[in-house]
Amino acid sequence: MLTLSIALLFSALSSSFAYAQTTGWITDAKHPPVKLRLLLTGEQQPQLKQVQAVLDVRLEGEWKTYWRSPGEAGIAPELNWSDSTNIAAVEWHWPIPHYFEQLGIMTLGYKHQVSFPLTLTLDNANQAARLKGNLRLPSCTDICVITDYPIDLSVDPTALTLDSDAMFLFNQGMSQSPKANPDVSVTATYWNAEQQQFIVQLNNQRPWQTPQVLVDGKQVEREFFAKPKLIIDNDKGLDSHQLTAVFDVTNWKGDVDLTGKSVAVTISDHTFATEHQASVGTLPIQYRQTGLVTMLGFALLGGLLLNIMPCVLPVLGLKLNTIALQQQASTSHIRTSFIASALGIISSFALIAGVLSLLKLGGESIGWGIQFQSVEFLLLMLIVTLLFALNLLGLFEFKLPAGLNTWMASRGDSSHLGHFIQGMFATLLATPCSAPFLGTAVAYALGASYLELWIIFIALGVGMSLPWLLFAIAPSLMRLMPKPGLWMNRIKLLFGFMMLATSIWLVSLLMPFFGKFAVLMIGSIILIVTVIWLGRVHGRKLLIPLIASLTLFAGGSLVVGSLTAGNWATPVVDDLPWQRLQADKIDSLTRQGKTVFVEVTADWCITCKANKIGVVLQDPVYTALQQPNMVLMLGDWTTPNPSVTEYLQSHGRYGVPFNIVYGPRAPQGIPLPVILSEKQVMDAISRASQP
């Protein structure tokens, strides 16, 4: 037994001195937020004298490091390997970076974790080598730190073994790094000295999805090409899809002439990344522009359509009640009250634009409806909707000064502040809804300049407030409203129940934060207190509107599903075999002949639920999604989720719902409209699947 123990101990000690394929984690005590390691994958190509390695960098919190062209600030990581032996060359592969903007400074780089693949070329493939030198790695948050890390790793080609962890990191980095792609070509480049613009035009044999274009090069090292305006034209032909990138470089200092210079054009889309060297041409480039004016039209229409989305209906009940009670008011008062409501809507959109701008400045992920991922916002909205509901249901009457009374007013308070607040409240409740044209306008705004972001969001506010502005312009339309009477009390009760349902819905959204039991307790207390008070206030008078309200909400899902899919018998229970969204697996699944249906949703997204009940869980879509060749992936955006946010933004989307179908014949995916229909989903599945 003693002999066996000594043998095991000797074996363990021997293995500890065995050949190592990694440096282990390297840190600097003066800068603990960053650590890194160099690993050999064990893969080699003896005929090329090449060995694969990967530099794995981990950064805590908001620390980031840079791409080979860092941008308007920072410096690129640099490996000095001059002390190495039997090393002929070290080729550094650069994964596609992300844009970061802070205090108006734009940079390109990586947060949290990045794997840099390295290809080591040996002088002699049959002899041991040593990679020794210094890695200078910059890392920044509000401050920047440049740290030198000593690198020392022996490379013995005859003793290499495959390391699965290192291979995963290497392949992860290579999948995000540019490689040859015959489908994509640079067709033209042009330097417009007069307008200080660099324009590059590219062609793709497949449709563009959410491309990103970067420009750098040794001959333009001093110039930073900030995020360009992209014009996609997928209508050129089946094998000719055009992308024009316009880089506005008016912020460059001094006279710059790019004509004839060589530039590196790095292009990435959802499923590929490639790079081309190009010489800047002298011939002007013609391209079709999708400008701000077009997006303004989309924003106006999208905002207008928000008025008919279910999110806004409870607040519209308040407004309808106000309209009916103001029929005897003066024309000027009617006009100014509607203008106050419109200003409340527009101000709310301006507030959203301001918050998004601040988040964008800080390099945070942004999107439509992200405030519903905040527990503080949900609690505030719960309190407000509950007080509105209880007031509408007659549980109490406020006897406060007019300025405060308007917060809960539902009987046509004459204060314009009340109308302004109703407008703001309607907007905040509208944000979990998506409407046609809205997604296009928001995506354009969040990817554009700050000025354009504000313009688009103000246009959304103007679009949503158009009905109120119409009453302000033509107060005589008030005559078309029915006269005040008993119907108003019943309508007020109906909208009170709708507002109460909104409160219960907000309670359900708190479940990820507080747990199911706590949320059920809160919801139960709200319902019990409400029923007791209603019984005291209304007695039997409440019976008819109560039955009507319960019937309305209980049958709502069935009606929507029936009208959309034309099938009364299909189940509405979501028992489909969903998997968690893993974007990196989609490509391999489609190569295996699978069709992948991706749904990105959130519990607070009303449109998502309508799509689910009305289309996804209705035949023929429901049956099609259960076929053996189908893989269903679900991305949950109810609470902040960086991977889901990154996936959305990779498709140029900044909100939910988002649905897309991948397949052997559509590896880049077929995005579906915001509001689904049976035909669109089935057509996409058919087009993406194998024949």
293 alpha carbon, distance to own chain's centre: 24
Return d(Cα 688, Cα 664) in angstroms, integer.
6
Stronger pLDDT, 367 or 233, i.e. the higher one: 233
Give the model's pLDDT for residue 113: 95
Give the model's pLDDT for residue 154: 94
Give the model's pLDDT for residue 10: 41
Question: Which of 427-431, 535-539, 687-691 has maximum average pLDDT?
Answer: 687-691
Closest residue by Cα to residue 606 from 441, 490, 491, 438: 438
Give the model's pLDDT for residue 413: 44
User: What is the mean pLDDT of the segment spanning 645-666?
Assistant: 83
The tokens describing 418, both together, are: 């009340």
- What is the 3-class SS of 630-650, one letter each residue? EEEEEEECCCCCHHHHHHHHH
Confidence check: pLDDT of 682 > 90: yes
Report the phi/psi class of residue 534: left, alpha or beta, with left for phi > 0 and alpha for psi in -120 to 50: alpha
Neighbours of 31 (CB within 10 A): 15
Confidence check: pLDDT of 529 > 80: no
Cα dist from 665 to 517, 594, 668, 677, 680, whole Å = 46, 10, 9, 21, 16
Return d(Cα 153, Cα 129) in angstroms, integer.
9
Give the model's pLDDT for residue 38: 97
Confidence check: pLDDT of 16 > 60: no
Give the residue carrying structure tokens 């990344």.
Answer: 273
Please tell me whether residue 453 adopts helix, strand or coil conformation.
Answer: helix
Closest residue by Cα to residue 391 from 508, 321, 490, 492: 492
Report the percent of the chain where pLDDT is more than 90.
Answer: 34
518 alpha carbon, distance to own chain's centre: 30
Please confirm whether the linkage preceding 577 is cis (ω < 30° from 0).
no
Stronger pLDDT, 240 or 347, i.e. the higher one: 347
User: What is the mean pLDDT of the segment spanning 332-359?
Assistant: 84
pLDDT bracket for residue 523 (50, 70, 90)? low
Burial class (CB in 10 A: 0-12, 13-18, 19+), 497: buried
Beta bridge partners of 277: 264
Give the model's pLDDT for residue 368: 65
pLDDT bracket for residue 283 (50, 70, 90)? confident
Give the residue carrying structure tokens 């919190």.
Answer: 61
Return d(Cα 642, Cα 649) in angstroms, integer.
10
Q: Which amino acid is at 657?
A: P
User: What is the mean pLDDT of the segment spanning 119-135?
Assistant: 94
pLDDT bracket for residue 589 (50, 70, 90)? very high
Q: Which amino acid is at 496?
A: G
Return d(Cα 657, Cα 560) in angstroms, integer.
17
Model confidence pLDDT, tens digit, residues 375-397: 777 777 777 777 767 666 666 54
Confidence check: pLDDT of 558 > 50: no
CB 664 within 8 A of CB 688: yes
Q: At a CB cut-off of 8 Å and minimum separation 6, what does 191 contact?
A: 197, 198, 199, 257, 258, 259, 280, 281, 282
Stronger pLDDT, 438 or 549, i.e. the higher one: 438
User: What is the mean pLDDT of the segment spanning 388-409?
Assistant: 52
User: What is the mean pLDDT of the segment spanning 612-640?
Assistant: 91
User: What is the mean pLDDT of the segment spanning 468-477?
Assistant: 80
Give the model's pLDDT for residue 609: 83
Stronger pLDDT, 166 or 488, i.e. the higher one: 166
pLDDT bracket for residue 177 (50, 70, 90)? very high
The tokens describing 467, both together, are: 């009905």
pLDDT bracket for residue 487 (50, 70, 90)? low
Least confident of 49-53, 377-381, 406-410: 406-410
Stronger pLDDT, 321 or 575, i.e. the higher one: 575
Beta bridge partners of 263: 278
Return d(Cα 667, Cα 148) in angstroms, integer.
42
Give the model's pLDDT for residue 535: 59
Q: At a CB cut-off of 8 Å and minimum separation 6, what does 418 contact?
A: 405, 406, 407, 409
Confidence check: pLDDT of 134 > 60: yes
Helix 466-473 and helix 331-361: axis angle, to 10°? 150
How many angstroms separate the first and last alpha carbons of the chain? 66
Stronger pLDDT, 368 or 644, i.e. the higher one: 644
Return d(Cα 674, Cα 691) in angstroms, integer.
27
Q: Percentage helix, strand, coil, to 5, in the chain?
A: 45, 25, 30
Query: Average pLDDT of the chain?
Result: 79
Confidence check: pLDDT of 511 > 50: yes
Beta bridge partners of 265: 215, 276
Return d(Cα 644, Cα 581) in angstroms, integer.
8
Least confident of 409-423, 529-543, 550-564: 550-564
CB 511 within 8 A of CB 519: yes
Stronger pLDDT, 640 or 632, i.e. the higher one: 632
Q: At a CB cut-off of 8 Å and minimum separation 6, what does 319 contact?
A: 341, 422, 426, 468
Confidence check: pLDDT of 43 > 50: yes
User: What is the mean pLDDT of the segment spanning 128-152?
Assistant: 94
β-pair type (87-92, 113-122): antiparallel
| Residues recorded for the chain | 691
Model confidence pLDDT, tens digit, residues 289-327: 656 777 888 888 888 887 776 666 666 656 666 665 565
Model confidence pLDDT, tens digit, residues 669-678: 888 888 888 9
Return d(Cα 495, Cα 501) in angstroms, integer.
9
Cα dist from 352 to 345, 458, 462, 470, 690, whole Å = 11, 10, 14, 24, 44
The tokens describing 29, both together, are: 């005590």
Burial class (CB in 10 A: 0-12, 13-18, 19+), 540: exposed
